Amino acid sequence: MSVELATSTSVSESRDWVALAKIALSRSALWLLLVALAVVANVLSHGSFLTLKNVVNILAQNSVLGVLAVGQTLVILTAGIDLSLGSITALVAIVVLQAQGLGFGLSLLAGLLVGLIAGLVNGLLVSVGRVPPFIATLGMMQVAMGLAYVLSQGFSINDNQHVGLLFGHDKLFGLVPSLVIVWAVVTVVAWFVTKRMRYGSYIYAVGGSPKTARTSGVPVTKTLVFAYAFAGVCAAIGAVLYVNRNGNAEPSIANITTLSMSMAPVVVGGTSLFGGIGGVWKTISGVLVLGVLGNIMVLVGVPANPQQAIQGVIMIAVVFIFVAQERRQRLR
């Protein structure tokens, strides 16, 4: 122990620019990868990738997943997992559409409420019911999807009264889509919650060491319920974005791979599946890297069906790399 202290002191005393550069590099590695991918995509697309229009389009395409992944980040930070976010998205999309007769405001409220309740149920099952997170949310995946089918009878429902999300507008200054704005707002809120608010501190502590958190007086149960409820609300917002973008929804959107695998960008971004390490910004870089990668797959001409398999493999590969890296760090 005393030896460890000695080394850590000497390292920090001799912190020169090489070490600083290394840290900066490792912190921004994913952003650099993103730039590299963008360049590759630009070459593959003969220069049509890095146009304002295309970049905005990619952001809009990934905003639903982006919002889900932000919610997922909070759950994974507690060392949990939420497999049900895709299904909650489907359920809320159906709820919002079925309630559209009540007017935009009320249907939106109903949708958010449903997402909140689903998240609360997940959180209570995990914390009070002591059900392992992946089992609790696997059940919710089924329940929410079932309810979505019950409410829609399996049919696709159209959004008959499209309302722009920015006070009735779909684009800010006729350029930035409302979806991207909402995603950005959700991200900033989640960042504020995790880094500036009490329950954010608790989330990191509970994920890092639930026992320490408990003995230190952290309300562990409330923290878990909060994280899952937050994720549920994010899924509900994702559903609203989905409806806004697609103009319709059917219950099977729960099976869209990117939505049901919202943990992929979180892990790619560098948030630890074992809790306590990571954050919302990292997730954004993960979403963008996977998004650009998906765009490249389209550019190269990979048909839609194998993409699901490829995304699964990518996820495992990335998780693998990150876990190996974490282990090395722990051994040091």
Partner 1 sequence: MSALAPARPDARALRWLPRLNKRFLIDYMAWVLLLALALIGVATNGSLFASGSNLNNIVEQSVIIGLLAIGQFVVILTGGIDLSVGSAMALTAMVVGVSMPLGTPGAVLMAVLTGTLVGLASGLTVVYGGLPPFIVTFAMMAVARGLALTITSGKSVQVLDNSLLGLGFGWQKVAVWALAIAVVWFILTRTRTGVRVYAVGGNVEAARVSGISTPRVIVLVYVISGLCAATAGILSFARNGGVAVPTSGQGYEMETIAAVVLGGVNLLGGEGRFVGAIAGTVFVVMLRNILDLSNADAFWSFCVIGVVLWGAVMLRGALERMR
Partner 2 sequence: MSDDDNTARAPGARRVLEAHGLVKRYAGVTALAGVDFDLHPGEVHCLVGENGAGKSTLIKILTGAVTPDAGSIAIDGEDVTSASIRERRERGISVIYQDLNLVPQLTVAENIFLGSEPRTRLGMLDRAAMRRATEQLIADLGVPFAASARVGELGISLQQLTATARALALGGKVLIMDEPSAVLGGKELDVLFGVIRRLTAQGIGIVYISHRLEEIFEIGDRVTVLRDGNYVGTSAVADIDQAELVRRMVGRDVVRYENLDIDTPKGAEVLRVDSLTRRGVLRDVSLTVRAGEVVGIAGLVGAGRTELARAIMGLDAVDSGTVYLDGKPRRVTSAAKAVRLGLALVPEDRRAEGIVPMLSVRDNAALSMVRTMSKLGVVQFRRMYRRVGELARDLAVKVPDLRDPVSGLSGGNQQKVVLAKCLASDCRVLIMDEPTVGIDVGAKREIYSLIGTLKQRGLGVVVISSELPEILSISDRILVMSEGRIQGEVDPRTTTQEEILHLAIPPMDALAQGGAA
Binding site for partner 1 (CB under 8 A): 81, 83, 125, 129-132, 134-136, 138-143, 145-147, 149-150, 153-154, 255, 257, 260-261, 263, 273, 303, 305-313, 315-316, 319-320, 323-324, 327
Smallest separation, CB 198 to partner 2 (Å): 4
Interaction mask 13-52, partner 2, x per CB under 8 A: x---------------------------------------
Choose from partner 1, partner 2, none: what does 166 bind? Cβ within 5-8 Å by kind: none
- In whole angstroms, how far apart are CA 61 and each of 55, 67, 94, 195? 10, 12, 20, 27
Please, are residues 281 and 70 in contact by the beta-carbon 8 Å criterion? no
- Report the phi/psi class of residue 130: left, alpha or beta, with left for phi > 0 and alpha for psi in -120 to 50: left
Choose from partner 1, partner 2, none: what does 209 bind? Cβ within 5-8 Å by kind: partner 2
Phi, psi of 265 (to 5 degrees): -60, -30
- Report the phi/psi class of residue 118: left, alpha or beta, with left for phi > 0 and alpha for psi in -120 to 50: alpha
Near partner 2 by CB under 8 A: residue from 57, 156, 158, 209? 209
Phi, psi of 151 (to 5 degrees): -70, -25
Smallest separation, CB 75 to partner 2 (Å): 17
- Which listed range, 93-101, 212-220, 255-263, 279-287, lies at the site for partner 2 (CB under 8 A)? 212-220
Does the footprint of partner 2 cover residue 197 (CB under 8 A)? yes
| Angle CA 208–214–219, to nearest 5 | 100
For partner 1, which is the closer residue by CB, 158 or 307? 307
Instruction: List, as one string, the DSSP characters of 17-75.
Output: HHHHHHHHHHHSHHHHHHHHHHHHHHHHTTT-SSSHHHHHHHHHHTHHHHHHHHHHHHH
For partner 1, which is the closer residue by CB, 201 or 209? 209
Please, are residues 266 and 283 in contact by the beta-carbon 8 Å criterion? yes
Smallest separation, CB 312 to partner 1 (Å): 4
Q: Using CB under 8 A as the criterion, which residues of the chain lie in contact with partner 2 when the complex forms?
A: 1-5, 8-9, 12-13, 196-202, 204-205, 208-209, 211-219, 276-277
